[in-house]
Structure 1
Amino acid sequence: MASETATVHLVRHGEVHNPDRVLYGRLPGFGLSELGHEMAEGISEHFGQRAENGQPVHLLAASPLKRAQETIAPLAQRLGMPVTTEERVLEAENKFEGLSEVKRQLRNPRMWPLLANPFRPSWGEPYTQQVSRVLAAVKDLADQAVAEHGDGAEVVVVSHQLPIWVTRLWAEDRPLWHDPRSRECTLTSVTSLHIGPAGVESVTYDEPNEALSQQALALPGA
């Protein structure tokens, strides 16, 4: 990491339009719902207000998936800044991608081999691999922001729940294996990685759209 300090805010995207409740994962074409667009406006307001109060954002990035790009768009427009498309913060690979009613389908014995190792996990991209790629992106974005804007630079990155959550677990020196129901990473929540000479030195968490997220449907594939 750069020797100076920086903060990289990992923002989960907003609610997705998914009436068939498909585990959409990396599938193309899944954009925000009406509520999701409202959440994106809320994120724009949150970081816009911070900028007006002396905490400007210096760099914007997002996963290439439609829901992430749509979430960051209002903030980019408000700040008049470009968005870097960052492949390394993409949603986790999942072998159940494209299925609906996943819980019911897991009763099929043909699916059971995919559940053999929940610690890796056996049904998708290893947790360690997700952490490695997200941290590499965080390092590069923090270094770029500091090089261009100096000590204390801030970056906003729109990503996805699982990559954000396992990166936070790593930063807090907790096991990467977890119960998905325990994730503290609601829609458009902000997980902030505070970067110093030693790398990620602390983590803070905020829910600027807490009231809106309570209205959201619990959809798979987020």
Structure 2
Amino acid sequence: MVSAQLHLVRHGEVFNPQRVLYGRLPGFGLSDLGREMAAAAADDLVARGRTVAALYSSPLERTRQSAEPISRAFDLEPVIDERLIEPTNRFEGSRLRGAGGALRNPANWPLLVNPWRPSWGEPFTSIARRMIAAMTDAASASDSDGDLVFVSHQLPIWMAHRSIVGARLAHDPRQRRCALSSITSFELQNGRLHEVGYADPAARLGAQATDLGAV
């Protein structure tokens, strides 16, 4: 029997003409390119020839929209799980770099005092804990042998990855392996999650994309 897998899918490019860190702010949906990227992720899952038993999504607009092509491909109604959401971030709505960027404003420097926690938002430990709980709870609740798909955000997916592979949660954000509409896959073996793959099905579109949503 083929083991069921759990796939963490990141959302596609967001329409963000002001180039701000959007975090949990409302009104930030996918761009036209982002919809193409989300479709590429769905196509990749279909091409694997695996049964998908359930689909879960963060409640934010960009993840719900990214779940739509997967929902259509597998005829599944997405289940909204708050634990898959983007972390809180004190820089929401700001441009981080360039003229007038929040990182140049001395008033914001106290927020940067501990990047290993991080001091500007939800602790890495909290993000990893809720993501893994969402994954394992869904696996426990599943009454079929099919795969489970979770549509989430860059940092939550990266925290799940680092926690599961035993890496330190503190990291350099520039080194994250979590492209727009990428798929990070796991299996639950003997009660423990193991990473089994990473795919970037929207890579051909990535060079055109703007990715400014997380720190």
TM over 0.5, shorter chain: yes
2:63 is the counterpart of 1:65? no
- Report % sequence identity: 44
1:88 and 1:126 mapped to 2: Cα distance?
Answer: 14
Post-superposition offset of 1:49? 2.2
The CA deviation string for residues 60-95 of structure 1, in whole angstroms up to 9 with x for no partner, is 011000000000101111221111001001001111
Q: Any unmatched runs of 5+ in structure 2?
A: none
Q: Which residue of structure 2 aligns with residue 49 of structure 1?
A: 47
**Count of equivalent residues:** 212
Post-superposition offset of 1:25? 0.1
Q: Which residue of structure 1 aligns with residue 202 of structure 2?
A: 209
Q: Which residue of structure 2 aligns with residue 161 of structure 1?
A: 154
2:192 and 2:157 mapped to 1: Cα distance?
Answer: 16
2:213 and 2:39 mapped to 1: Cα distance?
Answer: 23
Runs of 4+ in structure 1 deviating by more than 3 angstroms, as ranges, are: none
| 3-state SS, counterpart of residue 131 of structure 1 | helix
Q: Any unmatched runs of 5+ in structure 1?
A: none
| 3-state SS, counterpart of residue 58 of structure 1 | strand
Taking a change above 3 Å as real, the CA distance of residues 78 and 201 of structure 1, as seen in their structure-2 partners, is closer
Post-superposition offset of 1:218? 3.1
Q: Which residue of structure 2 aligns with residue 175 of structure 1?
A: 168
Tell me the TM-score normalized by structure 1.
0.90
For the Cα contact (< 8 Å) 1:92–1:125, is it kept in 2? yes
2:94 is the counterpart of 1:88? no
Q: Which residue of structure 2 aligns with residue 22 of structure 1?
A: 20
User: What is the letter of the counterpart of residue 34 of structure 2?
Assistant: G
CA RMSD of aligned residues (A): 1.6
2:3 and 2:39 mapped to 1: Cα distance?
Answer: 28
Q: Which residue of structure 1 aligns with residue 118 of structure 2?
A: 121
2:156 and 2:113 mapped to 1: Cα distance?
Answer: 21
Q: Which residue of structure 2 aligns with residue 97 of structure 1?
A: 92
2:38 and 2:194 mapped to 1: Cα distance?
Answer: 28
Tell me the TM-score normalized by structure 2.
0.93
